[in-house]
Structure 1
Amino acid sequence: MRAPRYWYERPGVMSTLMAPVGAMYAAATARRVARPPEVEPGVPVICIGNLNAGGTGKTPTAIFLAQRLVDRGLAPHVVTRGYGGAEVGPHRVDIKTDSADRVGDEALLLAAFAPTWVAKDRAAGARAAEGAGAEVVLLDDGFQNPAVAKALSVVVVDAQKGFGNGLCIPAGPLREPVAAGLKRADLLLSIGSDGAQEAFATRWGEAVSIPHLRGRLEPLPTGMPWRDLPVLAFAGIGHPEKFFATLQELGANVLHAEPLTDHQPLTNALMTRLAGDAKRLGAQLVTTEKDAVRLPAAFKHVVLPVPVRLVVDDPGPLEAALDRILPQA
């Protein structure tokens, strides 16, 4: 499902009509987050969350943090809820045997970087990770879930989209008001281009009273000669247009861009159609790293994934926060 356009426009008729329902949603969130945690693990828990519904860049942030923790000599485990009909868990993801249908695409991607647990019950997932030797738990999402005590909370936002119209669901994209959410957070990470970062600072800078990190997603240098390569691109992520823009920045000749809904199943019928379109256009099929894990087996060697990684301009505030909460290796 795509976000309504009015979520990211100045408040108008639709958002005004729905604002009272949004206020009730915000009040319910406030009651929920005020509950005491069910579990206080014996290891630090770092929550990677957001205030917006939908994709903001939490998965690349979790990968970035996992790699920083490994560099410090620590053993991070990721706990994620999964998506849709994913395994109830707690279940440790096995990238060799698990499918995206069972554990979710994000969990499969994360498991390539750190031991990853799918658990609808986040408290049970954190206990399972700790019992399996986790020295740090990375909680993927769950900022509004009080089940697990958090040592550090990082709120991630898309710099281009910002916090939308500043209203709560269904009047806007927010799970809770900006002021309330940032009051509970330790760090804010905005992800986007320099222009998007400037626009975010202009619109939301006065609301940010916590350390603010700025980052961007950069394609990994794989040696692929993208310049003038004819491609048919498809993406089932929160904001597919960002992936298409990345390909254009790489110099690829995007002959067709097919936006899909977030986590959309890549059925044989869909992939057969896209492969036929690519053949007629003389184009290479390309997709995101997250979409690639959902590909049917017959298409895994036909579609070229484009991996991206988070780059943070000044990780100093993050490193200082990690120093405060982490055991020394």
Structure 2
Amino acid sequence: MRAPEFWAGPGDGGWPARLLSPLSLIWCGLTRRRLARGPGYDPGVPVICIGNVTAGGTGKTPFAMVVARRLAAMGRQPHFLSRGHGARITAPLRVAGQGAATVGDEPLLLSRVAPAWVCPDRAAGARAMVAAGADVIVMDDGFQNPSLAKRLSFLVIDGGAGLGNGRVIPAGPLREPWGDAIARAEAVVVVGTATAPLPDMAGRPVLSAAVVPLNGDDFRGRRVLAFAGIGRPAKFFETLAATGADVVAGRAFADHHPFAASEIADLKREAAALDAVPVTTAKDFARLDAGARAGIEVLEITLALDAEGEAHLDQLLASSFHE
């Protein structure tokens, strides 16, 4: 499902948000009750959580990949743990050639950097990962899940979206009140230029991460039809345009959208009629059937911190190994 327009800022969402606010109170109560169960299972190695407070994408997965690379540079053996959106498994499974329908799209991307595991039972997943040699667990999402004891938690915010209208689901995009979330986080990561209002960080360190295209030169001066089913497709369209590509059309789909063969055929036909090449994200490409990928190109991106931010990140990561 796509987020309703009244979730976005500026403003408080108007009458639709006010009408839904009693349900937000129920959501908050259920979330607080779940989190009050306790710190959860301690696997004996650091658990580093890359989470967010809003529904939809903020850049968690790219930042999790940055974290794993920094840990590897420190001589550690990081493994990723993901619930796997739409994954069809019940027991811990290491990603090794399965498709997105089995393990989800994000674990496929994570597995490019370090061993990635999918399991809806995060404690069971952590036990399997440690047995396989992990000496640090990087959780992609799971900030609101108390089943594992976390030593370090980052909250990732999309600088272009902020906290939307600032209200909790279903009146707004927040998974929990910002005050509750920031109290459990050790640091905040702002991805992209902060064009939306940002909340009070409560004294937590703030790392700024820039979206950097890895193959942007491939698209400079070319006509492209951009399509994406991510948290904020507009951010992808903007990043692609910044490479110098001529984005003649942009087609937005809901996050994790399962593309039908007919939809991909329609996109290819539209691109051909516009004398353009269809371009999508690595996450979307991972969900496409092998037969649908022909003729579709991918803009690969990473996140970059400045030298001060990298040093601060390394300090935070190193601190997680000291109980």
Which TM-score band (shorter chain)?
over 0.9
Residue in 2 aligned with 1:92? 94
The alignment's TM-score, normalised by the length of structure 1, stands at 0.93
3-state DSSP class of the match of 1:82?
A: coil
1:228-267 counterparts in 2 under 5 A? 228-267=221-260
The correspondence of residues 234-313 of structure 1 with structure 2, limited to 5 A, is: 234-313=227-306
Any idea what the Cα deviations from partners look like across 1:182-215, whole Å, max 9, x if unmatched? Answer: 011001111112x52xx434xx2x3432111111
Q: Which residue of 2 aligns with 1:22?
A: 24
CA contact (8 A) 1:169 1:175 kept: yes
Question: Structure 2: how far apart are the matches of 1:231 and 1:242?
Answer: 15
Tell me, in whole angstroms, the C-alpha distance in 2 between the residues paired with 1:22 and 1:44. 33
* Structure 1 residue 222: Cα displacement: 6.1
The SS at the match of 1:319 is helix
> Are the equivalent residues in 1 in contact too, given 2:21–2:171 (CA < 8 A)?
yes
Partner letter of residue 129 of structure 1? Answer: M
Alignment of 1:1-329 (within 5 A): 1-9=1-9, 10-11=11-12, 12-94=14-96, 96=97, 98-193=98-193, 195-196=194-195, 199-201=196-198, 204=199, 206-221=200-215, 223-224=217-218, 226-313=219-306, 314-326=309-321
Q: Distance in 1 between matches of 2:34 and 2:101?
A: 30
The 1-side partners of 2:282 and 2:153 are apart by 26
**Which amino acid is 1:86 matched to?**
R
Structure 1 counterpart of 2:248, one-letter code? L
The answer to which of 28-37 and 301-310 deviates more is 28-37
In the alignment, the residues of structure 1 paired with residue 26 and residue 312 of structure 2 have an alpha-carbon distance, to the nearest angstrom, of: 35
SS in 1 for 2:197: helix
Residues 38, 72 of structure 1: alpha-carbon distance in 2 compared, 3 angstrom cutoff: same
Q: What SS does the aligned partner of 2:234 have? A: helix
Q: CA separation in 2, counterparts of 1:62 and 1:53?
A: 17
Counterparts of 1:43 and 1:237 in 2: how far apart (Å)?
32
The answer to whether the 8 Å contact 2:78/2:135 transfers is yes
SS at match of 1:157: strand
SS of the aligned residue for 2:287 comes to: coil
Please give the root-mean-square deviation of Cα atoms over the aligned residues, in Å.
1.5
Q: CA deviation at 1:326?
A: 2.7
User: Deviation string for 1:86-119 (max 9, x for gaps)?
Assistant: 322311111x3x0110110111111111111110
Which letter maps to 1:40? D
Per-residue CA deviations over 1:29-68 (Å, capped at 9, x if unaligned) read 1121121233101111000111111111111011111111
- Mind listing any 5+ residue stretches in structure 2 that lack a counterpart? none
2:79·2:115 contact (CA, 8 Å) conserved in 1? yes
8 Å Cα contact 1:66-1:113 kept in structure 2 = yes
CA deviations over 1:282-302 (Å, ceiling 9, x no partner)? 111110011111122123241
Distance 2:88 2:154 in 1: 25
Asked if structure 2 preserves the Cα contact closer than 8 Å seen for 1:187 and 1:318, the reply is no
Distance in 1 of aligned mates of 2:82 and 2:101: 15
Q: TM-score, normalised by structure 2?
A: 0.94
Contact 2:70 2:314 in 1 (8 A): no
Cα distance, 1:281 vs structure 2: 1.6
The DSSP-based 3-state class of the residue aligned with 1:182 is helix
Amino acid at match of 1:209: G
Distance 1:232 1:167 in 2: 34
- Distance of 2:249 and 2:123 partners within structure 1: 44
